[in-house]
Amino acid sequence: MNKLRAYRLQDAGADTVDANLMVGFEADERTYLPAATMLKALGFTSVRLMTNNPDKVAQLARWGVQVVDRVPHIFPANGHNIAYLRTKAEKAGHLL
């Protein structure tokens, strides 16, 4: 329910980070332990990871999965996503 409240706040003009904080979430609520556990269970201790989020790299390393290469998502900004991308870069440190 809170995620829907956060989306409503975004529709009213809050950015994605601020909306999550306003409903009591962290800026990013995800946990990477389950993904690291599954990767290790499959025999993977290192990966190439497609992401712009440096925290994903750090979190997987924290749980014992080395990211040997970060492959960026590359796509053009447009009128629908420019504010979202700017927020991700400025507030969440995404590498765009």
User: Global pTM?
Assistant: 0.72
62 given a catalytic annotation: no
* Statement to judge: residues 92 and 55 lie in one domain: yes
Task: Please tell me which residue in 28, 55, 70, 86 is annotated as part of the active site.
Answer: 28
* Statement to judge: residues 60 and 38 lie in one domain: yes
Picking from 69, 72, 96, 67, the residue whose alpha carbon sits closest to that of residue 84 is: 96
Tally of domains within the chain = 2
Note the pLDDT of residue 50.
96
8 given a catalytic annotation: no
* Statement to judge: residues 45 and 56 lie in one domain: yes
Give the range of the structural domain holding residue 52, as residue numbers without chain letter. Answer: 31-96
Note the pLDDT of residue 93.
78
Tell me what the pLDDT averaged over the chain comes to: 91
Q: Are 28 and 36 in contact (CB under 8 A)?
A: no
Note the pLDDT of residue 89.
86
Residue 24 C-beta-side C-alpha neighbours within 13 Å? 4
Note the pLDDT of residue 76.
87
Task: Please tell me which residue in 8, 30, 62, 69 is annotated as part of the active site.
Answer: 30
Stretch 51-74: mean pLDDT, rounded? 94
